Amino acid sequence: MARDPFGGMTEGGSDYGYQYQIPRRERTVRKAPERFSLAEFGREIVTGFVMGGLSSAAFYGAGRAVEAVKGSVRSGYKCGNKTPSEIARSWQGVGKYPGIDEYTDVTVAKGTILYRGEPNGTGYFTTLDAIEQSGRDATTIFEGLQVEKNPMHGYRGEMQGYLFNENIASAYGIANANPQFGKGGLPQYFVPDVQDLINKGIVTPVDNIKLYK
């Protein structure tokens, strides 16, 4: 996972716990839905199995996470001059997070609910299945997402769910590249300009899960 994924880095500064705040200088460009490629989707499941060390059934659970990528993997999605996956990777490879995770540009389908750590949520999300498989335990979740623990406050204590009311271009990957912060293996989504999407009602809060600490 990237530096302080799912925590709360404010613009220009760092924090701990679950993902950083992404500067809002770039805007997501959403395209009309393309046809779902079964072959491409199958490769995504295999990638999740190999990288995450989990079976596809266990990883995707009851199918909620499948819906997040079912909108079809797309190349060419641009946020300014970069794709979502390029932006997500740009936050890694320096400082305490030298490893760079693999990301794929995907469409988070309309009707999907993803979760991020709060307060001070950012553009990084995970799935309900990942939270439940972790027993709603903060340590298990954030070590699975490879997040540095705040030495004073520990990990964030809640996960806020957000409903996607439109298909949204995003980046998807498995946290694996920074084992100094945990074993990894959990899914992570990066959603560019998410605060703008929230302000416009395109992404809306719908559920809140308290974590065991």
Give me the tens of pLDDT residue by residue for the chain, a chain 213 residues long. 555 544 444 333 334 444 433 344 333 334 444 444 444 544 444 343 333 333 333 333 434 444 444 434 333 455 668 999 999 999 889 999 899 999 999 999 999 999 999 988 889 999 999 999 999 999 999 999 998 898 998 999 999 999 999 999 999 999 999 999 999 999 999 999 999 999 999 999 999 999 998
Q: With respect to residue 31, please indicate whether it lies within any of the assigned structural domains.
A: no
Question: Does residue 121 form part of some domain?
Answer: yes
Q: How far is it, in rounded angstroms, from Cα 41 to Cα 44?
A: 5
Look at the chain and report how many structural domains it folds into: 1
pTM of this prediction exceeds 0.75? no
The pLDDT of residue 150:
86
Q: What is the pLDDT of residue 122?
A: 83
The pLDDT score that the predictor gives to residue 56 is 34
Residue 66's domain spans which residues? Answer: 38-210
Does 183 reside within a domain? yes
> Domain for residue 198, yes or no?
yes
Asked if 155 and 213 count as a contact pair (C-beta separation under 8 A), the reply is yes
Quote the pLDDT of residue 121: 86
Those residues with Cβ within 8 angstroms of residue 43's Cβ, 6 or more apart along the chain or in another chain: none
Indicate whether 116 belongs to any domain: yes
Report DSSP state, residue 22: P
Q: Report d(CA 182, CA 178) in Å as an integer.
A: 7
Give the pLDDT confidence score for residue 120 in this predicted structure. Answer: 82
Residue 148 lies in a domain: yes
Identify whether 6 is part of a domain.
Answer: no
Q: What is the pLDDT of residue 163?
A: 99
Q: Does residue 12 form part of some domain?
A: no
pLDDT (0 to 100) of residue 29: 39
